[in-house]
Structure 1
Amino acid sequence: MDDITKNKILESCAKYSKNTLMETLSIEYIDVGDGFLKAKMPVNSKVHQPMGLLHGGASVALAESVGSAASMLFSNPETDEIRGIEISANHLKSKREGEVFATAKIIHKGKTLHLWEIKIEDEEGNLISLCKLTNIVMPKQK
């Protein structure tokens, strides 16, 4: 994938994030390639649980956001909508500050179902959470 195509995709992801949870959580899409999409999210008080650690729900929101956006890479946004129908997460390590990076990689790309593995890692590449997301591709609702 050339740099112009990558930039167009990342700009499109940013556009779809305006006035959404992704903007609230400061999720930024930073890389894309064949079969993957990567985003980052700052770890600060906006995404902490009461003990001052990254909230598992914020990690799941990051995972579902990047996995759903990644499904759009294989769909036509003019005719299709993506809906997450199942997500699971294993939280393996805590994080208090800095950034986390979520990379969604396609496991199965069917006509109507997409299965993604999303690894959330810290700046050093330590695995924070491992998630699995199933999306359904549906005709766009009017």
Structure 2
Amino acid sequence: MKHLLVFLIFYGQCTIGNVFALPNKLNIWNDLDPNHKHTTLFVHCKSGTIDKGPQYVPHGILYQFPIKENSWLRNTLFWCTFRHGPNYKYEQKFDVYKSRSHKVPQGSIYEWIVKEDGIYFRINTAPMHKVHNWKLA
């Protein structure tokens, strides 16, 4: 009986933590050069169970969605395809969100900034750094 009580208390805390934890946010900014003709960004993000569908993000616009972390398994993963340019000939596919250790607090903002010379990243207010160059599709 003691083991059942311990299990129920532990399970209840995990469930409450999962229900009431702040979701993380995934921000994707289209910061392509407005002086170029093709400034619309194609974005398609997915996880193992969620497909956000194709999005066409105009220059200067933020595409954002919340990510509810699986706090029990900590195995949440989202990946995205980015394309831009004439006939969307420049492309990059990569993981945009992976479960992190508890060092990154719930409610954090994972920010991707798309520019002509590549794709940049930061979490919350950390300095932005370039992580990907464009490839021909």
Q: TM-score band (shorter)?
A: 0.3 to 0.5
Give the TM-score taking structure 2 as reference length: 0.38
TM-score (normalised: structure 1): 0.37
Q: Compare the two structures and name the one with the higher helix fraction.
A: 1
Between structure 1 and structure 2, the one with the greater Rg is 2
